[in-house]
Structure 1
Amino acid sequence: MTSWMHEERLNAAFAVVERSGARSVLDLGCGDGDLFVRLAHAPAVTRLVGVDICATSLARLRHRLSVIPASAARIELRNGSMTQAHPALSGFDCAMLIETIEHIDPSQLAQLECAVFGKMQPRSVVITTPNAEFNTLLGVPAHRFRHPGHRFEWRRAQFRKWGDRVGTSFGYDVMYSDIAGCHPDLGGASQMAVFEQVR
């Protein structure tokens, strides 16, 4: 059972893949596979690779995949870090990082940028992350994060500053949107950046 906010994030991310017509998708930090399972059923997706550092999460995802009807996608799961590029993970149409970057230590963000945008170089990259401005509406105290595993949470201006720099550095255009609500002052519960490779 997923929360309304989580469902909104999944819907927004899946819609980007559908609109893009991506045939090969890389799900970085796929976890238990809430998005991955949806992508496995997408008719247009013919190659789907999930990467997660947690072997237990991948085991749960394998079980979920084993009990659903066969998918048209060629599926692969890898135990590894999204900050480490591998030659087999390059050249994808789309890479997804859904509520994952906030679990990375800020000191490793440069490594993530280099791995994803510099070496893997997918045609598009979709990133969602909590909007720290919305925390007050969720009752999260100012001195805490939403989840104990979060290493940071960005306000919208911080996310856009980071995304604009990454896009300029690696040759991507970027568009931003709010997810799960749109408070006139605080935005949505999450925020999404869609990076498109400049051709």
Structure 2
Amino acid sequence: MTMYSPLHEERLDTVMAVLRAEGVRSVADLGCGSGNLIARLLAEPRLERIVGMDASGMALQVVRSEVLNGRIDPRCTLIHGSYTEPDAGVRGVEAVTMIETIEHLDPQRLGRVEQTVFAGYAPRLVLLSTPNADYNPRYGLAPGKWRDADHKFEWGRARFRDWARGIAGRNGYAVRFLGIGEGDADLGAPTQMAVFSRPD
């Protein structure tokens, strides 16, 4: 399986810790890529339903060959599609994860994400992470330069928190924020995560 950076592994450690603490039994990883998180989810016996969705058919093929090893796991469904559009295969999950994905979208499409994920699927838990642009100078990046050529935007902490709080308020969620990775006293952590939860 593809090796990932220590920071990415720390993101996934954080996701798994939150999912375990919340006791969820079904998870959809939207923008699952080649399946590093899917592999971890499959290793959790308590999970009864796992959905992986990605717009890249090639990425899903990697999941099938390298994560599932060509076998069929009755708990796991893979969907070739975009999380900006509703899909019946995702409905009913308790938790949605979106790890380092939204920054690959044109910002004008973020409204569709809100409608599809928060208003449509309305899981009780959403974990969403994205780069913290405030931290970019630590990577030697000039203002306006992003960490990946495919990124359409990167937000600082204030912008991300305003966006997340707006989504939470409009859709009946509480939200808290986590910093992931070795932080800087002034710039924050390299990755920022919002944990959205619906009151019981």
**Superposed pair shares fold, TM > 0.5:** yes
* Aligned-pair Cα RMSD in Å: 1.5
Q: What is aligned with 2:80?
A: 79
Whole-angstrom distance in 2 between the partners of 1:103 and 1:114? 18
Gap regions ≥5 residues in structure 1: none
Whole-angstrom distance in 1 between the partners of 2:55 and 2:70? 24
Q: What is aligned with 2:193?
A: 192
When the two structures are aligned, how many residues end up with a matched partner?
198
How much has 1:141 moved relative to structure 2? 2.2
Whole-angstrom distance in 2 between the partners of 1:51 and 1:161? 27
How much has 1:7 moved relative to structure 2? 1.1
Whole-angstrom distance in 2 between the partners of 1:16 and 1:187? 20
Residues 91 and 123 of structure 1 are in contact (CA less than 8 Å); yes or no, is this contact kept in structure 2? no
User: SS state of the match for residue 96, structure 1?
Assistant: strand
Pairing of 1:2-21 with structure 2 (within 5 A): 2-21=4-23
Pairing of 1:158-177 with structure 2 (within 5 A): 158-177=159-178
How much has 1:144 moved relative to structure 2? 1.2
Whole-angstrom distance in 1 between the partners of 2:65 and 2:56? 15
Q: What is aligned with 2:69?
A: 67
User: SS state of the match for residue 151, structure 1?
Assistant: coil
Q: What is aligned with 1:47?
A: 49
Percent identity of equivalent pairs:
39
Whole-angstrom distance in 2 between the partners of 1:92 and 1:150? 28
TM-score, structure 1 normalization: 0.95
Q: What is aligned with 2:59?
A: 57
Gap regions ≥5 residues in structure 2: none
Pairing of 1:108-123 with structure 2 (within 5 A): 108-123=109-124
Whole-angstrom distance in 1 between the partners of 2:34 and 2:51? 13
Displaced runs of 4 or more, over 2 A: 65-71
